[in-house]
Structure 1
Amino acid sequence: MPNRRQSFIILGCFVISVVFLLAAASKYSTPRVPEPPRPPKYKPNPDWVPPPVKDNFPLLHSAASPDSLPPIPKWNVPIHNAHNTTPLNLPVAPPLFIGFTRTYPLLLQVVTSYITAGWPPSQIYVIENTGVQQSNARGLLSLQNQFFLNHTALTRILGVNVVTTPTLLSFAQMQNFFLSLAYQHDWPYYFWSHMDVVAFSYEGGHGGMTPPYHDPGYKSIYTLALEALQRARNEDSKWGFRFFAYDHLSLVNRDAMEDTGAWDVMVPYYMTDCDMHSRLSMKGWSIKDERAGIITDVASALADLSMLYRVGLEGDVQPEFVDPNPAKPQPPGKKHNKRNEALESERERRGLKIEDRNAEEDDPNWVKWRKLVHTSDLQFQHKHSDRGRNTWQLGQHGGKGEPFYYPAAGLAEAIEVMTETGREIYRRKWGHRDCDLIGGTLLKFDDAWMVRKDWSR
Structure 2
Amino acid sequence: MGPEAGDDRWVIAFYSYDWLTVVNVSPLALVGQWDVFIPYYATDCDWYHRAHMAGLKLLVEDVGLIFDMSASLGEPEKLLFGDGGDGIKPNSTKFQELIVALEAKGRVGTGPDPPGYPDRFFWQTEIMGGWGEPWTYNPDGLTRAYKAMGSAGRIIFSAKWGLPEASCELFREKIKAQREAWSFP
TM-score, length-scaled by structure 2: 0.78
Superposed CA offset, 1:190-231 (max 9, x none): xxxxxxxxxxxxxxxxxxxxxxxxxxxxxxxxxx3xxx14x1
Q: Which runs of 5+ in 2 are unaligned?
A: none
Over the aligned positions, Cα root-mean-square deviation in angstroms equals: 2.8
In 2 relative to 1, CA 447–238 (structure 1 residues): closer, same or farther, beyond 3 Å? Answer: same
Cα separation, 1, equivalents of 2:116 and 2:75: 26
SS in 2 for 1:302: coil
In structure 2, which of residues 92, 96, 102 is the aligned counterpart of residue 370 of structure 1? 96
Going from structure 1 to structure 2, the CA distance change for 1:370 and 1:292 (only over 3 Å counts) comes to: same
Is residue 2:116 matched to residue 1:386? yes
Instruction: Look up the equivalent residue of 2:136 and give its one-letter code.
Output: Y
Aligned to 1:237, what secondary structure does the other structure show?
coil
C-alpha offsets along residues 111-164 of structure 1, whole Å, 9 cap, x if unaligned?
xxxxxxxxxxxxxxxxxxxxxxxxxxxxxxxxxxxxxxxxxxxxxxxxxxxxxx
Higher-Rg structure is 1
What is the CA distance between 1:428 and its match in structure 2?
0.5
Q: Assess if the C-alpha contact under 8 Å between 1:270 and 1:419 holds in 2.
A: yes
Contact 2:16 2:63 in 1 (8 A): no
Whole-angstrom CA distance in 2 between matches of 1:404 and 1:299: 19
3-state SS in 2 of match to 1:415: helix
The answer to whether the 8 A contact 2:50-2:178 is kept is yes
1:422 maps to a residue whose letter is: G
Residue equivalent to 1:424: 155
2 CA distance for matches of 1:313 and 1:409?
A: 44
Residues 411 and 313 of structure 1, relative CA distance in 2, 3 Å threshold: farther
Aligned residues: 173
**CA 1:313–1:250 in 2, change beyond 3 Å: closer, same or farther?**
same
Partner residue, 1:445: 178
For residues 384 and 299 of structure 1, the distance between their equivalents in structure 2, rounded to whole angstroms, comes to 17
Sort the Cα spacing of 1:384 and 1:423 in 2 relative to 1 into closer, same or farther, 3 A: closer
Cα 1:365/1:304, change in 2 over 3 Å: closer
2:9 and 2:27 mapped to 1: Cα distance? Answer: 8
> Take 1:447 and 1:406, find their aligned partners in 2: how far apart are those partners?
39
Contact 1:256 1:280 in 2 (8 A): no
For structure 1, the 5+ residue unaligned runs are: 1-223, 315-362, 453-457
Q: Is the 8 A contact 2:80 2:98 kept in 1?
A: no
Q: 121, 126, 132: which one pairs with 1:401?
A: 132
* Higher relative contact order, structure no. (Cα contacts within 8 Å, ≥ 6 residues apart): 2
- CA distance in 2 between counterparts of 1:287 and 1:274 reads 12
In structure 2, relative to structure 1, the CA distance for the partners of 1:313 and 1:276 (3 Å cut) is: farther
Partner of 1:26: none
| Aligned residue runs from structure 1 range 262-281, under 5 A | 262-281=33-52
Whole-Å separation in 1 of the counterparts to 2:99 and 2:174 = 40
Note the 1:63-212 alignment, pairs <5 A.
none
2: CA distance, partners of 1:313 / 1:263: 47
Give the fraction of aligned pairs with identical amino acids, expressed as a percent.
30
Cα displacement (A) at 1:398: 1.5
Shift of 1:258: 2.1
